[in-house]
């Protein structure tokens, strides 16, 4: 009978993707129990938001999941727009769809690179970071920042997008499939990669739904649920794409789902660029919502969520009719996926814990809020 041992993983462990602390109970190499400690990056975003105006809060949403700031901005401003009852013109919606998908490409590229690195393969991370840089440069062109964009505002966006942006995006998008093929030659049929992944961290369909898992993790377990199809927002009902679904719910399926999503995003970007209408991209009375003048939002409440690269990001906003929200609740995908980690790693080996955490694709800024 092996002696039980409790070891501490994180918060400085490189494969916990930030400051997640996992306490593992081991019997030899096998995990028999685990506990987690979070909150080391807690900045009280929900509390801060209660004292800021609606337009200022956009900057806070950048700091949630700092890898996908654009989609955070989009989700938040759309929630407020729903509360205000304003609509933005088709060009604005197309631009949001286009940029949301570019952000998904950035996120999944980063996932592939870092996931491979966590499993011991160093090469893919250089390739994916090299290619991700192209999109970051494009985002820098329109917003002036590389990660915390604050580009989308309630009622529209900060500035009109220059034609050069669309041309360069098209160039990039034409090469995207080639880039994905390059990552795949290194990983998808790699024997070591498959051995480390297949059958590891299996999540059953029932467990996934009961735990409220979301995004690629949910879809890898065989649940074809994607908000872009289930509750179409922006221009997704006009786009032709498929939902990526896995069968076994293991780490390998979660990787495959993301590779498939990369390819689907490529299709959506191409369609957005092709159909991009001309005209205004901000709502009619955008002047009313411009910084620095604060605006009032009618009393009521709204829950709005979109399919962010990591899963469903939702904002639950309660307004009391003033310039700042009464209460904001951020429902973030990393939070809900990490909460289910204990059940996924029970009975696994320590090395598989690393693979499982990495396959969830978590960002602690979003988890700790």
Partner 1 sequence: MKKENLKNMNDIGAAEALKKHFPSAVESAELVNHEAVVYVRKDDIKKVLAYLKEKVGFEYLFSITGVDYPDRTPRFDIVYHLKTLEHPLQLTIKVKVEEGTDVDSVYDIFKSANWCEREAYDMVGVPFKGHPNMTRLFMWEGFEGYPLRKDFPLYTEDK
The verdict on 327 binding partner 1 (CB under 8 A) reads: yes
Check if the beta carbon of residue 340 is closer than 8 Å to that of residue 207: yes
The verdict on 316 binding partner 1 (CB under 8 A) reads: yes
The verdict on 301 binding partner 1 (CB under 8 A) reads: yes
The verdict on 212 binding partner 1 (CB under 8 A) reads: yes
* Binder of partner 1 out of 26, 67, 78, 83 (CB under 8 A): 83
Nearer to partner 1, 231 or 293 (CB): 231
| Structure-block tokens of residue 61 | 């949403």
Q: What is the DSSP letter of 227?
A: H
The verdict on 209 binding partner 1 (CB under 8 A) reads: yes
Minimal CA–CA distance to 339: which of 358, 357, 355?
Answer: 357
With CB under 8 A as the rule, give the number of residues binding partner 1: 40
Give SS3 for 213: coil
Query: Considering the complex, what minimum distance in angstroms separates the CB of residue 339 from partner 1?
Result: 4
Query: Considering the complex, what minimum distance in angstroms separates the CB of residue 46 from partner 1?
Result: 6
The verdict on 331 binding partner 1 (CB under 8 A) reads: yes
* Binder of partner 1 out of 7, 181, 230, 291 (CB under 8 A): 230
* Binder of partner 1 out of 82, 168, 238, 323 (CB under 8 A): 82
Question: Residue 60: in which H helix or E strand, if any?
Answer: helix 57-62
The verdict on 303 binding partner 1 (CB under 8 A) reads: yes
Distant-in-sequence, close-in-space partners of 261: CB < 8 Å, separation ≥ 6: 104, 108, 216, 244
| Structure-block tokens of residue 234 | 């922006």
* Binder of partner 1 out of 185, 291, 329, 346 (CB under 8 A): 329
Check if the beta carbon of residue 319 is closer than 8 Å to that of residue 334: no
Q: Tell me the per-residue interface mask from 106 to 145 with partner 1, x by CB under 8 A, - otherwise.
A: ----------------------------------------
Minimal CA–CA distance to 141: which of 167, 108, 114, 111?
Answer: 167
Torsion angle of C-alpha atoms 18, 37, 303, 69, degrees rounded to 10: -10
The verdict on 71 binding partner 1 (CB under 8 A) reads: no
Residue numbers 270-289 binding partner 1 by CB under 8 A = none
Check if the beta carbon of residue 311 is closer than 8 Å to that of residue 216: yes
The verdict on 302 binding partner 1 (CB under 8 A) reads: yes
The verdict on 307 binding partner 1 (CB under 8 A) reads: no
Query: Considering the complex, what minimum distance in angstroms separates the CB of residue 320 from partner 1?
Result: 10
Torsion angle of C-alpha atoms 318, 319, 323, 328, degrees rounded to 10: 0
The verdict on 87 binding partner 1 (CB under 8 A) reads: no
Options 92-100, 193-201, 254-262, 310-318: segment touching partner 1 (CB under 8 A): 310-318
The verdict on 170 binding partner 1 (CB under 8 A) reads: no
Check if the beta carbon of residue 351 is closer than 8 Å to that of residue 15: no
Radius of gyration, alpha carbons of the chain: 21
Check if the beta carbon of residue 364 is closer than 8 Å to that of residue 356: no
The verdict on 42 binding partner 1 (CB under 8 A) reads: yes
Q: What is the DSSP letter of 331?
A: E
Q: In whole angstroms, give the CA distance from residue 302 to residue 194.
A: 43
Q: Which residues bind partner 1 (CB under 8 A)?
A: 38-39, 42, 44, 46-48, 50-51, 82-83, 207, 209-212, 214, 223, 225, 230-231, 300-303, 312, 314, 316, 318, 326-327, 329, 331, 335-336, 339-340, 343, 368-369
């Amino acid at each position: 009978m092996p002696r039980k041992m409790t070891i501490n993983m994180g918060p400085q462990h490189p494969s916990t993707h930030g400051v997640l602390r996992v306490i593992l109970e081991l019997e030899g190499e096998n995990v028999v129990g685990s506990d987690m400690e979070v909150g080391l990056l807690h900045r009280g975003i929900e509390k801060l938001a209660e004292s800021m105006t609606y337009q200022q809060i956009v900057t806070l949403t950048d700091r949630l999941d700092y890898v996908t700031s654009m989609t955070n901005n989009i989700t938040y401003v759309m929630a407020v727009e729903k509360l205000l009852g304003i609509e933005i013109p088709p060009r604005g919606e197309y631009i949001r769809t286009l940029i949301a998908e570019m952000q998904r490409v950035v996120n999944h590229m980063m996932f592939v690179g870092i996931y491979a690195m966590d499993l011991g393969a160093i090469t893919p991370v250089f390739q994916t970071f090299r290619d991700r840089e192209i999109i970051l440069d494009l985002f820098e062109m329109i917003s002036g920042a590389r990660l915390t964009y604050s580009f989308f505002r309630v009622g529209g966006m900060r500035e009109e997008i220059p034609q050069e942006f669309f041309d360069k995006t098209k160039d990039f998008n034409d090469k995207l499939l080639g880039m994905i093929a390059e990552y795949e030659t290194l990983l998808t049929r790699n024997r070591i990669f498959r051995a480390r992944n297949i059958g590891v961290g299996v999540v059953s369909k029932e467990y996934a739904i009961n735990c409220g898992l979301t995004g690629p993790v949910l879809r890898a377990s065989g649940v074809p649920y994607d908000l872009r199809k289930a509750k179409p927002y922006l221009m997704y009902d006009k786009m032709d794409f498929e939902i990526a679904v896995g069968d076994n719910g293991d780490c390998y399926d979660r990787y495959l789902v993301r590779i498939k999503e990369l390819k689907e995003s490529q299709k959506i970007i191409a369609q957005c660029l092709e159909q991009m209408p001309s005209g205004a991209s901000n709502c009619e009375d955008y002047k009313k919502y411009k910084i620095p003048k604060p605006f009032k939002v009618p009393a009521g409440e709204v829950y709005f969520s979109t399919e962010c690269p990591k899963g469903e990001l939702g904002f639950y906003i309660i307004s009391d009719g003033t310039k700042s929200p009464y209460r904001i609740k951020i429902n973030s995908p990393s939070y809900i996926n990490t909460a289910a980690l204990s059940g996924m790693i029970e009975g696994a080996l320590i090395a598989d814990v690393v693979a499982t955490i990495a396959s969830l694709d978590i960002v602690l800024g979003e988890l700790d809020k």
